[in-house]
Structure 1
Amino acid sequence: MTRIGIILGSTRPKRNGEQVANWVYDKASQRDDAEFELIDLRDYPLPHLDEPLPPATRQYQKEHTKKWADKIASFDGFVFVTPEYNHSTSGVLKNAIDFLYTEWNNKAVGFVSYGGVGGARAVEHLRLVVGELQMADVRQQVALSLRTEFEDFSILKPSEYSVQALDTLLDQVVAWSQALAPLRTAAT
């Protein structure tokens, strides 16, 4: 069965991302074409990149890196749930991505973002990053504006358009994850 990790890319107190990630997970869990798991970066407290060797070598020396690498290696694709901070993604998500290399290769990724303009700029930044990691980013994006998709900027109330966009995003992530399976098999 195809496995998709939904990565909650914020560790801030009172973060809106937790509602967003739970919404994505709840919708995804209703599907029968893949297994989904919610991954909260709070459960993987990675310091700023502290491995002495580049991630591409896979010669991890720190236990926190080994644990993170094992978790990411267990998935075929991902949905990144990202806030937008200062026209980019969160530092904690970028750091978690940068810890690894091979574990990301030949996997699909979709983006669910939130922020003042729906997190669109954070996703544009992430698309460049995942391209370098040999990931296939799907076209569909869910961009949740704090002004229109949240009540009082804090209670998620996704529009019907966003619900449909999420369904399409999940279709694409699952399809691309399955399509890339031969590349992952060849790499091992």
Structure 2
Amino acid sequence: MSKPRIAVIIGSTRKTRFADKPTEWFMSKVAGNADLDFEVVDLRDADLPFFDEPASNAWVPSSDPKAVAWQEKIASYDGFVFIVSEYNHSITAALKNALDQAYNEWVHKPMAALAYGSMGGARALEHLRAIGVELQMVPVRGAVHIGGADFFKVWPGAGNAPISEIEGNLENALGGLLTDLTWWTKATKAAREA
């Protein structure tokens, strides 16, 4: 079995987004991972239109070339880590749209998350997990949450410290995320290939 590929999907597209900082930290921690290959997938680069197909591609092939290109890209991965910002107690519109642009390509693949916001992105991640279940993904239990005083310490609108200053509070959660993601990625990949 080839080494599984994991897309690290940045869920915010705002010019002033915070997402790049936790993404860079996460990628530094998974560089050279023995079990999984991680690659950043930035929704800014996808340039997706708002979903405007007759139906999900579970039922009807998509016609928009950008949607089809997105589906092909997502299909090439064996699992996903979402970098989740919380907007008004939920995920961003850009992330919801990206999820809606595909269906078949998400099915039977695990998803994990690094979430952030004043409450650690917990409410947004709960919404994302519910969407993931509907898309037949496997949400793993482990997640990294940057919230409360830690968030305000590293967020540019407040302390703007490097994430290395709070990583001691994140490393146990990161270890749990990677353990869960590795197990479920190997299990679902083997099942899909069988």
Mark yes or no: TM-score above 0.5: yes
Matched, 1:26 2:28: yes
2:113 pairs, out of 111, 114, 118, with 111
Secondary structure of residue in 1 paired with 2:63: coil
Runs of at least 5 residues in structure 2 that lack an aligned partner in the other structure: none
Match for 1:179: what amino acid? A
State the match for 2:56 in structure 1: 54
Separation in structure 2 between the aligned mates of residue 94 and residue 170 of structure 1, nearest angstrom: 24
Q: CA deviation at 1:175?
A: 1.3
Match for 1:184: what amino acid? R
State the match for 2:138 in structure 1: 136
Match for 1:106: what amino acid? H
Separation in structure 2 between the aligned mates of residue 75 and residue 121 of structure 1, nearest angstrom: 26
1:164 pairs, out of 166, 169, 172, with 172
Separation in structure 2 between the aligned mates of residue 153 and residue 35 of structure 1, nearest angstrom: 28
Matched, 1:185 2:185: no
Runs of at least 5 residues in structure 1 that lack an aligned partner in the other structure: none
Matched, 1:88 2:96: no
Deviates more, 1:124-133 or 1:44-53: 44-53
Q: Deviations over 1:11-51 (max 9, x none)?
A: 01121111111211221113121111000000001111022
Separation in structure 1 between the aligned mates of residue 22 and residue 179 of structure 2, nearest angstrom: 18
Q: CA deviation at 1:184?
A: 2.1
Separation in structure 1 between the aligned mates of residue 167 and residue 189 of structure 2, nearest angstrom: 33
Separation in structure 1 between the aligned mates of residue 124 and residue 89 of structure 2, nearest angstrom: 6
* Number of equivalences: 186
Contact 2:117 2:151 (8 Å CA) reproduced: no
State the match for 2:45 in structure 1: 43
Secondary structure of residue in 1 paired with 2:80: strand
Secondary structure of residue in 2 paired with 1:110: strand
Separation in structure 2 between the aligned mates of residue 4 and residue 58 of structure 1, nearest angstrom: 26
Separation in structure 2 between the aligned mates of residue 181 and residue 149 of structure 1, nearest angstrom: 34
Separation in structure 1 between the aligned mates of residue 168 and residue 60 of structure 2, nearest angstrom: 43
Cα root mean square deviation, aligned: 1.6
Q: TM-score, normalised by structure 1?
A: 0.92
Identity fraction in percent:
40
Q: CA deviation at 1:152?
A: 5.9
